[in-house]
Structure 1
Amino acid sequence: MSEDAAPTEERKRVWKTPPGVALCAEADIADPGSRGFVLQIGEAFFHGFVVRKDGAVAGWVDRCPHAGFPLAIELDRYLTPDASLILCGWHGAVFEPLSGECKGGPCAGGRLTPWPVQVAGGIVRTA
């Protein structure tokens, strides 16, 4: 890097969100399916995703417990091709969609960090 190159500024991250923030209509997420969200909170950003499976909805912080990377390599592609598990696209770890438990890969026995969400009146909101 040359001396006159501007340093890159890293975006501040937060790991929690305030309750009651409307994210999307429940129907906007396929069953089974997933959708990622980035929320600006003050000057920082929260990265999370919501999974819908068997009529239930669960939210997760978008951070693999193995290496700290976001799980999806492609926008909103958090599930395996058969939509049975959450997949870390970087290292192949797989997680139960509703419990967040790692079922295989480099973080076996670990779990995703929950992001409290709920559905009320057909709208997915932070809880």
Structure 2
Amino acid sequence: MSDAPPPAPERARVWKTPPNVALCAEDDIVDPGSRGFVLQIGEAFFHGFVVRKDGQVAGYIDRCPHAGYPLAIELDRYLTPDGALILCGWHGAVFEPLSGLCTGGPCAGGRLTPWPVQVVDGILRTA
């Protein structure tokens, strides 16, 4: 008989968010920069991230198209050190920040799944 606790149940995931949910002030994300978000929707959770680059924002579901893992190994670190590309820290795939197109690595030619976001009066919101 094992003294180990039973495994934690897997949290249910959702892949969309309702519109007009305030996430943060636009200026809370540096340019270039990124930030991850986890939203509870009912009993399930949505995992996404936003990139800010060249005065624009783009949101993506936090799931690499190659293996399905979240992209960042460290909290909010979705970009390469120079801020030029999104980086999957697990397998090295790189993506264009504003289009989500994979330009190198195991899923070259693939895309991140967009998460509609917008800035309204300086506040980043779901769209």
- Give the Cα–Cα distance (whole angstroms) in 2 for the partners of residues 25 and 31 of structure 1: 13
**Over 2 Å off, 4+ runs:** 1-5
Could you tell me the TM-score, scaled by structure 1's length?
Answer: 0.96
Matching residue's letter, 2:63: R
Instruction: Tell me the number of residue pairs that the alignment of Structure 1 and Structure 2 aligns.
Output: 127
Superposed counterparts of 1:44-123, under 5 Å: 44-123=44-123
**Does the residue aligned with 1:17 lie in a helix, a strand or coil?**
coil
Q: Secondary structure at the match of 1:37?
A: strand
- The letter of the residue matching 1:125 is R
Note if 1:16 corresponds to 2:16.
yes
Q: Which runs of 5+ in 2 are unaligned?
A: none
Aligned-residue CA RMSD (Å): 1.4
Shift of 1:6: 1.7
Identity within the alignment, %: 83
**Rounded Cα–Cα distance in structure 2 between residues aligned with 1:76 and 1:4:** 32
Distance in 1 separating the partners of 2:89 and 2:107: 13
Q: 1:39 aligns to what? A: 39
